[in-house]
Amino acid sequence: MDEFTSENILSADKFSAHDYTNKRTGNVFRVYWEIPLNGYKGKLRLEVNYVEGIEIRVSFEEVYDKACLRRLEIPLNENVVYNHRNPPSCGNAEKFNGIHKHKYLDRIKDGCAYVPDDIDTKSIESIVRTFAKECNIHLTSNLPSEIYQKTLF
């Protein structure tokens, strides 16, 4: 994966697979959609992880390269402190304790994090749909009711 490929993938219109997969591993509830992309041989996925009372993490990733093209992290508990700090090559060494996004960059595989101003946090559906729209992913199904059951919005 490189930045050029990442940006090309992000800019292309994509449609989620109709079916989603959901599973629970420990205290993490995960729902994901496979994201087909014409002319691309890799495997793409939109994933929502929910850790009760701790965080919601929404990621768009390239599965084989294990490259996260975009990631949104939303703490649900003000006492949860992220240990993410931007390296100096991002131009700042900010530490992120609240809502933040990551964007893939060649020099920093985890990407430089930043505080977004475009996420509607009023519901889990608005969070996921806003994030998917940023990644040019058209969700072709409703969000699974399991997500609603697991969140306390």
pLDDT at residue 151 greater than cutoff 70:
no
Band of pLDDT at residue 153, cut at 50, 70 and 90: very low
pLDDT digits (tens, 9 = 90+) for 24-69: 888 888 888 999 998 888 899 999 988 877 888 889 998 878 888 9
Secondary structure letter of residue 101 according to DSSP: E
99-112: average pLDDT:
79
Pairing of strands 14-15, 137-138: parallel
For residues 151 and 10, give the distance between their C-alpha atoms in angstroms, rounded to a whole number. 28
Tokens of 120: 């509607």
What pLDDT score was predicted for residue 35? 92
- Residue with the larger pLDDT of the pair 141 and 4: 4
Among 44-53, 83-92, 125-134, name the one with the lowest average pLDDT. 83-92
Q: Which structural domain, as residue segments, surrounds residue 54?
A: 3-150
CA distances from residue 90 to 16, 65, 67 in whole angstroms, order as listed: 32, 22, 18
What one-letter code names the amino acid at 24?
Answer: R
Secondary structure letter of residue 136 according to DSSP: T
3-state secondary structure 6-42: HHHHHHCCEECCCCCEEEEECCEEEEEEECCCCCCCC
pLDDT digits (tens, 9 = 90+) for 14-26: 998 778 888 888 8
**Average pLDDT of the chain to the nearest whole number:** 82
How many domains does one find in the chain?
Answer: 1
**Nearest Cα to Cα of residue 109 among 58, 68, 64:** 68
For residues 57 and 61, give the distance between their C-alpha atoms in angstroms, rounded to a whole number. 12
pLDDT at residue 13 greater than cutoff 90:
yes
Tokens of 130: 């806003």
